[in-house]
Amino acid sequence: MADIKTIDDENFAGKKVLVRVDFNAPVDADGNVTDDTRIRAALPTINKLVGDGARVILTSHRGRPAGEGFEESFSLGPIARRLQELLGRDIVLSRELIGPAAQEVVDALEDGDVLLLENIRFDKREKKNDPEFARALADLADAYVNDAFGTAHRAHASTAGVADFLPSYAGYLMEREVATLTGMLDEPRRPFVAILGGSKVSDKIKVIDALLEKADTLIIGGGMCFTFLAAQGKSVGTSLMEADWVERAGAMMKKAADRGVALLLPVDVVCADAFANDANLATVSVDEIPDDMMGLDIGPETAELYAEAIGMAKSVFWNGPMGVFEMPSFEAGTRAVAEAVAANEEADTIIGGGDSVAAVNQFDLADKMTFISTGGGASMELVQGEALPGVEALR
Ligand SMILES: Nc1ncnc2c1ncn2[C@@H]1O[C@H](COP(=O)(O)OP(=O)(O)O)[C@@H](O)[C@H]1O
Ligand SMILES: O=C(OP(=O)(O)O)[C@H](O)COP(=O)(O)O
């Protein structure tokens, strides 16, 4: 990030500053934000700009609307209400995204005011990174700040295109996310233990590949472990197993062996006769998975082995749950791993976004972690060694 300007390089007094944030937060049926982590994470940047006396124009997406105009169910209204509470000041929410009507709202701002534009994906030109749309957004402001780490892997008008038209800066969250994640990957304190779970090997193959070049130990859990177990010739019953990926999983195991990386796979699993919390359960060795059952969590013996490896780490990177942690019958493995990570106070512990963050929150262990990323897809792309368009655009 050395070649990218940050907001500390500037005093924005009196300037109109367009700030891309990631306010894509979950909202319940009553219109309440159920997890405001991403909103809180943007506050330091907003407060710095307000403190400078800037006129702050926030822009974000929420969900994936059709792009054909306003849709109540994707409105940023609930976000604006929560932001207002957190900032303790009034927030103007503008239905207009660009053009003279939006300009009018912006012109009414005074120094230190905060405006939030409605869901930027209500205009389909956003996701197309349409240059005219990006130019029109830029016309609202004197400077551009990108603080939307969670959306930095998207090359959209508000995350990338707009930077062509304005002096551009990284916000504090963007800076911290990139520095923390790349810092661990480039110079981890060793042993470096990476933990990967979640549903599919196919989704994470590049991450597995990249981590095999960085980590000392790679722990595999979740649905993806069954493709690895199949590559070892084991029968996995009705578990989530990607037949097309068995060969790649085998190649990954060989790569681990060649590089001297300890690749840990489950030795026992919790099986069920249906994908349901009240299914009939059996905890079995991975050599004895019944043909008519599916593995939905790592077993207790595995959890103990994994916890032991995690306990010896000086750096831990974790992405993806060990089992179907949303159901109480299959949460024990993920809980055990979360507790082991939390208990290792000597290590730098980084949670790489996505469902592992939900799990850590579910077990009330978030404050025991060194760093929790606000980006799932974005942090995975960074780990894979891919350039993030939202960061590149700031160069
Ligand atoms: N053994 C399993 N079988 C089926 N699904 C699983 C299994 N283990 C975990 N999952 C599911 O994987 C999902 C998370 O996968 P994924 O989206 O890849 O992870 P993340 O969001 O952390 O990147 C969770 O909803 C979880 O229930
Ligand atoms: O929630 C997000 O991604 P994530 O679930 O991978 O962290 C971001 O806001 C990006 O959203 P998108 O995947 O609709 O572009």
Do 192 and 169 share a structural domain?
A: no
Residue 148: partners with Cβ closer than 8 Å, 6 or more residues away: 20, 21, 22, 60, 159, 174, 390
How does pLDDT run across 341-371, given as a tens digit for each residue?
999 999 999 999 788 999 999 999 999 999 9
- What is the reported pLDDT for 354? 82
Query: Is 45 domain-assigned?
Result: yes
Paired tokens of 128: 């197309």
Do 338 and 235 share a structural domain?
A: yes
Q: Which of 132, 154, 176 is the last residue of a domain?
A: 176
Do 150 and 209 share a structural domain?
A: no
Query: Phi and psi for 240 in degrees, rounded to 5?
Result: -60, 110
Q: Which of 121, 152, 176 is the last residue of a domain?
A: 176
- What is the reported pLDDT for 150? 97
Query: 93-117 burial string, b = 16+ CB within 10 Å, else e?
Result: bbeebbeeebeebbeebeebbbbbb
Query: Is 391 domain-assigned?
Result: no
Query: Is 393 domain-assigned?
Result: no
Active site (annotated) includes residue 354:
yes
Active site (annotated) includes residue 320:
no
H or E stretch at 16: strand 16-20
- CATH at residue 197: 3.40.50.1260
Do 243 and 132 share a structural domain?
A: no
Query: Is 390 domain-assigned?
Result: no
Q: Which of 148, 176, 204 is the last residue of a domain?
A: 176
CA 387 / ligand 2 centre spacing (Å): 16
Tell me which of 20, 23, 24, 379 to substitute to probe ligand 2's pocket, judged by most ligand atoms within 8 Å of the beta carbon: 24
CA atoms in the 13 A half-sphere facing the CB of 356:
36
Task: Tell me the one-letter amino acid at 242.
Answer: E
Question: Could you say which of 38, 125, 127, 176 is catalytic?
Answer: 38
Do 68 and 135 share a structural domain?
A: yes
Do 121 and 164 share a structural domain?
A: yes
- Relative to the CA of 295, which ligand 1 atom is closest? 1
- What is the reported pLDDT for 38? 95
**Helices and strands: H and E segment counts in the chain:** 14, 15
Do 374 and 254 share a structural domain?
A: yes
- Relative to the CA of 150, which ligand 2 atom is closest? 8
Do 19 and 68 share a structural domain?
A: yes
Which domain, by its residues, includes 100?
A: 7-176
- What is the reported pLDDT for 57? 98
Long-range contacts, stretch 273-276, CB < 8 angstroms, 24+ apart = 275/324, 276/327
CA 215 / ligand 1 centre spacing (Å): 22
- What is the reported pLDDT for 314? 98
- What is the reported pLDDT for 1? 79
**Closest to 250 (Cα-Cα) out of 263, 269, 267, 236:** 263
Query: Is 388 domain-assigned?
Result: no
Query: Is 95 domain-assigned?
Result: yes
**Burial class of 388 by CB neighbour count within 10 A (0 to 12, 13 to 18, 19+):** buried
Paired tokens of 230: 């199949």
Q: List ligand 1's pocket residues with C-beta within 6 A.
A: 198-199, 203, 222-223, 240, 295-296, 319-321, 323-324, 326, 354-356, 376
- Number of separate domains in the chain: 2
How would you list the strands of the sheet with 262-264, edge to edge? 262-264, 217-220, 192-196, 315-319, 348-351, 371-372
Regions of the chain where pLDDT drops below 50: none
Do 201 and 171 share a structural domain?
A: no
State pTM to two decimals: 0.93
